[in-house]
Amino acid sequence: MLGLIPLSDMGPDFFFCKGPHCIPDCAVLIGKFEIQRAPPPYGISIHGYSSMSARFPIPRRRAVGHQNSDICATMDSNVMKTSVHFALLLAFVLAAGAGASATWFHGKGKKRANQGPSATVTVESGLAGCKVDVDGEDAGETGPEGSLVIKDVEAGDHYVHVLCPGQRDTSYFISPTANQKVNVDARAAATNSNVAVTASINPAASEMELREMVSKAVQLRSSGQFKEAVELLRKATMLDPGNGDLHQELGITFLEFHDWESARVEMLEAIRREPDSVEAHSRLAYALEKLGDLDGALKQYRICTEMDPHDTSYRDHYVEVLGKLYAAKAEKKH
């Protein structure tokens, strides 16, 4: 008995060898592939599993039924699209003891490493105990006087969400500049349970009007008119703030023009409106990867594999990000 244990966070086809039943060249199975492991120790450090420090030779992959097809593992990103190299990279990462959690990346509620001067946001709800978050990250609750001051808010686009006891969730789009003080007046929403989902926003536009706006924005985006496309899609999201598809379209526009941070914000809002959208999770993962938040990207790609297990591209992306995480960790050691 080899002691193969499922690595549940990565799906049912992933296993690793751990414990007294492991033997030299322990076989680790990934789908139909057999990974030949190096000699002891066998520990790894993915998703909280303990790891032993050891130097491993580069592992070899042998596809079942092809005894003479040993191939050395590679980190070449250009050959990551096949299942063979999928297995290769994962074996390489596991044997090297690369962890999936990187403490040097941006974490929830913390400043990004490259963040410049920040803004201060004051939320006025008129009620105590209203929960406030910024882009889904908890910012605290309003005090006895019904206000909350949020410091160190990054300059740029954000959605502030306010949820008061017994009331409906309301959201506010802000885009502060560095050192700016922004006031969010949520008092009308906090005292009226029948307000729209997003406060201070016009009533939802007709479906036809929104379609025309999106169609025009896509044309502008295709012709390279980024600013005009963003303005039109922003107007559309203001008209129908609960429409996750509109936030996705805006996020896609930011992705195409490499505005990763704004894309992250819009995809988060899209997921808030439509949490079952695998496309939104995938696009959020891509934005996080570009921002250097590999830990966050891994989480989103893992969600994608759970939501759509038949699409192997999400697992390919997951393992590719694992490789980048290993490379970053190895570089840091030097």
Residue 250 above 50 pLDDT? yes
Q: Where in the chain is the domain with CATH 1.25.40.10?
A: 207-333
Per-residue pLDDT at 112: 52
Q: Are 59 and 37 in contact (CB under 8 A)?
A: yes
Which pLDDT score, from 0 to 100, does residue 334 have? 67
Say what the pLDDT of residue 12 is: 36
Between 176 and 205, name the one with better pLDDT: 176
Sign of CA dihedral 229, 235, 241, 242: negative
Note the pLDDT tens digit of each residue in 270-310: 999 999 999 999 999 999 999 999 999 999 999 999 999 99
Backbone torsions φ then ψ of 112, nearest 5 degrees: -75, 155
User: Count of alpha carbons within 13 Å of 251, Cβ hemisphere only?
Assistant: 27
Averaged over 98-120, what is the pLDDT? Answer: 48
Fold of domain 207-333:
1.25.40
CATH fold for domain 119-190:
Immunoglobulin-like (2.60.40)
Averaged confidence pLDDT in the chain: 71
Tell me which residue of 83, 82, 59 sits closest to 71, measured CA to CA.
59
Percentage of residues of the chain with pLDDT beyond 70:
60
The structure's pTM equals 0.65
Helices (H), 75-197: 83-96, 187-190
Secondary structure class of 333 (helix, strand, coil):
helix
User: For position 190, what pLDDT does the model report?
Assistant: 55
**Residues of CATH 2.60.40.1120 domain(s) within the chain?**
119-190
pLDDT tens digits for range 73-97: 222 233 333 344 444 444 444 443 3
Average pLDDT score over residue span 46-64: 28
Indicate whether 202 pLDDT > 90.
no
Q: What is the mean pLDDT of residues 234-240?
A: 92
